[in-house]
């Protein structure tokens, strides 16, 4: 049997959902960052499969994906840097601890 569009979309959406779920539930910021990566990558998958299955004529989706990956990498870098800073300042990376500013 050959794989069709849906068989790619469903997992990627599940992946995205996992990312969201992870973001909301994880305590550790690194873990949250990982779930963010999940989300971004599921989006990349979307673009690729759409391009591959629906519009094979041009490579627009592919290129978009490349850029998206690059952006994701940059985001991760920045995020990591900031998390490290936070760790320096607060001595932990528990998301529930950095709620000084509220209301």
Partner 1 sequence: MPLSSTIYVLAIPLFMFLFLGLVGVKMPRKITGVIGVLGMAVTTVWAYAIAFTYFFGNGEGQMLDGVRQQVVATDWTWLSFYADKLVVKLGVLIDPISAMMLVVISTVSFMVHLYSLGYMSDHDGNPEKGFQRYYADLALFTFSMLGLVVSTNIFQMFIFFEMVGVSSYLLIGFYYGQQPANHASKKAFIVTRLADLFFLIGILILSFYTKTFDFKEIMGANGHDVCNAFTSAQGLTFMGCSVTAWALTFIFIGGAGKSAMYPLHIWLPDAMEGPTPVSALIHAATMVVAGVFLVARMFPLYVLEQGAMDIICVVGAFTAFYAAAVACTQSDIKRALAFSTISQIAFMMTSLAVSSANGKLLGGHEAGLGYMASMFHLFTHAMFKALLFLCAGAIIHAVHSNENSKMHGLHKFMPITSIAFLIGCLAIAGIPPFAGFFSKDEILVACYEKGIGWGLWMSMVAGMTAFYMFRIYYLIFFWKKHEVHGEHAPKDQPWTMTVPLIVLAIISCVAGFAPFGKLVTWDGAQLETHMNWPIAGASVGIALIGIGLATMMYWKENPLPDKLATMFKGLWTASYKRFYMDELYQFITHKIIFQSISKPIAWFDRTIIDGFFNLLGNVTNSASFGIRKMQSGNVQGYVSYYIIGAVLLAAVTGVVILCF
Partner 2 sequence: MDYSQFLMMPQEIGLLVVFLLVFLYDTFMPSKSHKGLPLFATIVFGLFTIYSFLPVPDGSAFGDMFESNKATWAMKNILNIGMFIVLLQSIKWTNSDFVAIRRGEFFELMLLTLFGMYLMISGRHFLVFVIGLETASLPLATLVAFEKKYYESHEAAAKYVLTAVFSSAIMLLGLSFVYGITGTLYFNEIASSVQGNKSLLLIVALAFLISGVGYKLSFVPFHLWTADVYQGAPTMVTSYLSVISKGSAAFAFFVILVQVFGAAYAPVWEWMLYAVIVITITVGNLFAIRQRNLKRFLAFSSISQAGYIMLGVIAANAEGMASMMYYILVYIFSNLAAFGVIAVIERKTGKVTTDDYNGLFKTNPWLAFVMMLAMFSLGGIPPFAGFFSKFFIFMGACSTGSVAIYVLVFIALVNTIISLYYYLLVVKAMFIRQDECVIPAFKSHWSEKAGLWICSLGIILIGIVSCIYTGISNITNSDAMSTMFSMIQQ
Residues at the site binding partner 2, with contacts judged by CB under 8 A: 16, 19, 23, 29, 32-33, 36, 39-40, 42-43, 46-47, 50-51, 54-55, 60-61, 63-64, 67-68, 71, 74-75, 78-79, 81-83, 85-86, 88-90, 98, 100-103
Q: Which two tokens stand for residue 1?
A: 């049997």
Where do contacts with partner 1 occur on this chain (CB under 8 A)?
A: 20, 23-25, 32, 95-96, 98-103
> What is the smallest separation between the CB atom of 27 and partner 1, expressed in angstroms?
9
Query: Is the CB of residue 38 less than 8 Å from the CB of residue 18?
Result: yes
Nearer Cβ to partner 1 (39/68): 39
Distance of CA 56 to the CA centre of its chain: 25
State the Cα angle at 18 between 17 and 24, rounded to 5°.
95
CB of 53 to partner 1, least distance (A): 24
User: Looking at the DSSP assignment, which residues form a beta bridge with residue 64?
Assistant: none
Beta bridge partners, 41, equal none
């Amino acid at each position: 049997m050959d794989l069709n569009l849906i068989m790619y979309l469903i997992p990627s959406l599940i992946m995205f959902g996992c990312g969201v779920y992870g973001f909301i539930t994880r305590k550790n910021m690194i873990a949250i960052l990982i779930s963010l990566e999940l989300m971004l990558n599921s989006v990349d998958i979307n673009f690729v499969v759409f391009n591959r299955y629906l519009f094979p004529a041009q490579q627009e989706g592919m290129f978009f994906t490349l850029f998206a990956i690059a952006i994701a990498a940059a985001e991760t870098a920045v995020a990591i840097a900031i998390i490290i800073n936070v760790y320096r300042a607060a001595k932990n990376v528990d998301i529930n601890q950095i709620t000084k500013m509220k209301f």
